Amino acid sequence: MSRYSPSALLGVVDLPLAFPFAILQGVLVLGWVLPAAVIPIQALKLLGDAQNVSAFFFGVGFVGLFGALVMPWLVYAMGRRAIFALGAVCIVISSVLLSLDDAVSLIIGTAIRAFGFVCFDVAFEVAIMERVPRRDLARFEPVRMFFMGIGLIIGPWLGIRLSLDLGLWSPFALLAVLTMGVCAYVLRVRLADRPRGAATHGRPPNPLRFIARFLHQPRLRLAWVLAFGRSAWWTMYFIYAPIYCVQSGLGEEWAGIILSAGSAAILLVPLWSRLGQRIGVRALLAIGYITTGLATIVIAAAGLPWLGVTFLLAASVLASVIDAVGNALFLRAVHPHERAEMASVFFTYRETAHMVPPGVLAALLGVFALPVVFLASGTSMVVLCWFTRYIPRRY
- Residue with the bigger pLDDT between 115 and 339: it is 115
pLDDT band at 124 (very low <50, low <70, confident <90, very high): confident
Q: How far apart are CA 286 and CA 272, in angstroms?
A: 13
pLDDT in tens, 15-71: 556 677 788 888 999 999 999 999 999 999 999 899 999 999 999 999 988 888 888
- Tell me the C-alpha distance between 24 and 189, whole Å: 13
5 falls in which pLDDT band (50, 70, 90)? very low
Indicate the range of 134-148, 170-184, 297-311 predicted with least confidence.
134-148
Share of the chain above pLDDT 70, in %: 87
pLDDT digits (tens, 9 = 90+) for 351-363: 899 999 999 999 9
Whether the Cβ atoms of residue 243 and residue 305 lie closer than 8 Å to each other: no
Query: What would the mean pLDDT of 5-11 be, rounded to a whole number?
Result: 47
Alpha-carbon gap, residue 8 to 248, rounded angstroms: 47
| Phi-psi region at 200: left, alpha or beta (left = phi > 0; alpha = psi -120 to 50) | beta
Helix H or strand E encompassing 216: none
The reported pLDDT for the residue numbered 71 is 81
Residue type, position 138, single letter: A
pLDDT at 152 over 60: yes
**Please, how many CA atoms are within 13 Å of residue 248, restricted to the half-sphere of its CB?**
22
Q: What is the pLDDT of residue 323?
A: 87
Please, what are the domains in the chain? Answer: 15-195 (1.20.1250.20), 206-395 (1.20.1250.20)
Per-residue pLDDT band for 200 (boundaries 50, 70, 90) equals: low
CB 43 within 8 Å of CB 53? yes
pTM for this prediction:
0.87
Helix (H) or strand (E) holding 316, with range, is: helix 305-323
Q: Residue 140 pLDDT more than 90?
A: no
- CB within 8 Å of 237: residues ≥ 6 apart: 259, 262, 312, 315, 316, 319
Q: In this structure, what is the dihedral angle of CA atoms 124, 127, 129, 131, given to the nearest 10 degrees?
A: -130
Mean pLDDT within 255-262? 93
Indicate the average pLDDT of the chain.
86
Residue 156: predicted pLDDT: 94
Q: How much is the average pLDDT of 273-293? A: 91
Cβ-proximal residues to 3 (8 Å cutoff; 6+ apart), any chain: none
pLDDT at 201: 55
154-163, 172-181, 200-209, 307-316: least confident range: 200-209
373-386 average pLDDT score: 97
Kindly tell me if the per-residue pLDDT of 388 is higher than 70: yes
Mean pLDDT of 229-254: 94
Overall average pLDDT of the 207-226 stretch: 88
